[in-house]
Structure 1
Amino acid sequence: MRGERRDWCRTVLVTLVVGAVASGCAGSSRSDEDYRHKAANTAEAAASAVSTARLAVEAAGRGRLTGPYASVLLGEAETDLLAAQATFESRQPPGEAADTVRERLGTLLDDAADALAEVRIGARRGEVRELAEHTGQLRQAAERLEGFEEEMSS
């Protein structure tokens, strides 16, 4: 009886672990249109994270944010962008047209992630006033993501 219970517990545990792992994957899209919609949503989320960071670096440059607060805010913006990127990248593109969408968005997300990492690192090094120098780079990254989102939504 004890052996059966142990086997049952082991089966339940394995099922739960497999379910948790599977639910962490975003899965595939059934059509190019669905994939474009998911790409648009990802671009929108990423643009929001970059825009938050841009506002933070502008405020920091004017002396309106402390270094620790800027560091946390920029770290969270970067985490949000990377989460959106990871979720999108886990999706299986349904066809060649979707491969192009994936490649284009991947480049935009990589550029945005690099920009966010740069300002986060600067904030953690105490270079708070200098963060404003990155405003243009962040604005451009957000605009490119927003343009992509609009293109994929139409």
Structure 2
Amino acid sequence: MTPPARLAPLALLTALVLSACVSPAWDDHDYALKAGKTAASAASAVRFARSAVAYRDRMTGPYAEGLLTEAVQDLSSVNDQFGGVQPPSDASDGIRDEVLRLTEKAESEVEELLIQTRRDGVKDPAAAARELDGLASELNDFAEKHK
């Protein structure tokens, strides 16, 4: 695969994450929809990271590191964007807490995998892939519940 072709999935993920930018929430329903889109964007980044970990043996170290770096940056962006939207009422506080707990956990997990990749490699790629699968499922469940 040529280098530009390798970057196509990365460009697609970045476009998806950026298209999920949030704006002010006018009511609880709008806020829940934004939280759902945030979770869906985070799930996409987690699945992307999962692929980098699960198929690490099929790519160069710098390429795997680049994929995980992008996933961490995307998750950080998702957290920053949604974290900047204030819940419109006390009723939305639980939604905010839940989605940020999930997205911050995702960012932390992927960041840890990036650190491992930069050092000696992911210690247990199969376990890491399972963990990321579970996290992506939680994020997807949240997104489905709030769409």
* TM-score bracket for the superposition, by shorter chain length: 0.7 to 0.9
Matched, 1:43 2:73: no
C-alpha separation in 1, matches of 2:112 and 2:126 = 12
Q: What is the CA-CA distance between 1:52 and the residue it aligns to?
A: 0.3
User: Structure 2 matches for 1:124-139, cutoff 5 A?
Assistant: 124-128=118-122, 130-139=124-133
Matched, 1:34 2:30: yes
C-alpha separation in 2, matches of 1:136 and 1:42 = 22
Q: What is the CA-CA distance between 1:118 and the residue it aligns to?
A: 1.1
Code of the aligned partner of 2:54 = E
Change (3 A) 1:42 1:151: same
Q: TM-score with structure 2 length normalisation?
A: 0.81
81, 103, 109: which one aligns with 1:109: 103
Q: What is the CA-CA distance between 1:65 and the residue it aligns to?
A: 1.5
Aligned equivalent of 2:77: 83
Aligned equivalent of 1:100: 94
Code of the aligned partner of 2:88 = P
Could you tell me whether the CA contact under 8 Å between 2:116 and 2:123 is conserved in 1?
Answer: no
C-alpha separation in 2, matches of 1:34 and 1:147 = 18
Change (3 A) 1:47 1:149: same
SS in 1 for 2:25: coil
Which structure has the greater CA radius of gyration? 1
SS in 2 for 1:30: coil
Q: List runs of 5+ in structure 2 lacking aligned partners.
A: 1-21
Q: What is the CA-CA distance between 1:126 and the residue it aligns to?
A: 3.4
How many residues align structurally? 127
Q: CA RMSD in A?
A: 1.7
C-alpha separation in 2, matches of 1:39 and 1:143 = 15
C-alpha separation in 2, matches of 1:42 and 1:124 = 28
Q: List runs of 5+ in structure 1 lacking aligned partners.
A: 1-25
Aligned equivalent of 1:5: none
Q: What is the CA-CA distance between 1:106 and the residue it aligns to?
A: 1.1
Q: What is the CA-CA distance between 1:70 and the residue it aligns to?
A: 0.6
SS in 1 for 2:58: coil
- The answer to which of 80-89 and 127-136 deviates more is 127-136
Q: TM-score with structure 1 length normalisation?
A: 0.77
